[in-house]
Amino acid sequence: MITIYSGSEGRLLAFENCIRDEKVKFPRVEVFDFSQGTEVQEFFDALLTSSLFGELKLVIGKRLNKIKKMAEFIVQIERVAHTQNLVIIEGEGELFTAKQKERVEKSIKVIECKDKNLESLFIGEACSLLGCERGDVQKILSILPENYYTYKQEISKLALFFHGKKFNVTEALKLVTYREQEIFFYIERFFQNKELKQLYEFVEQERQHMLLVALLTDEILMYKIVKEYERDKNTLLSNLNYSQFSKLHAPSITKVYYKHPYAYFKKLEMVDRISFEFIDFALDQIIECEMGIKSGKKSDTIATFQLLKRLQEKF
Q: State yes or no: pLDDT of 213 exceeds 70.
A: yes
Domains: count for the chain: 3
Q: Specify whether 297 is located in the same domain as 196.
A: yes
Q: Which of 177-181, 213-217, 240-244 has the lowest mean pLDDT?
A: 177-181
pLDDT tens digits for range 288-310: 999 999 898 999 999 999 999 99
Q: Specify whether 261 is located in the same domain as 286.
A: yes
| Average pLDDT in the chain | 79
pTM of the model: 0.51
Q: Specify whether 78 is located in the same domain as 92.
A: yes
Tell me how far apart the alpha carbons of residues 167 and 101 are, in angstroms, rounded to a whole number. Answer: 47
- Cβ atoms of residues 190 and 308 within 8 Å: yes
**Of 160, 177, 194, which closes a domain?**
177
**Of 177, 192, 225, which closes a domain?**
177
- Structural domain including 166 reads 118-177
pLDDT tens digits for range 150-206: 677 788 888 888 888 889 988 888 777 654 456 777 888 788 878 888 888 888 887
Q: Specify whether 230 is located in the same domain as 141.
A: no
- Helices 182-193/196-206 angle, 10° precision: 150
**Of 159, 177, 195, which closes a domain?**
177
How far is residue 66 from each of residues 14, 38, 92, 241, measured CA to CA in Å?
21, 9, 11, 38
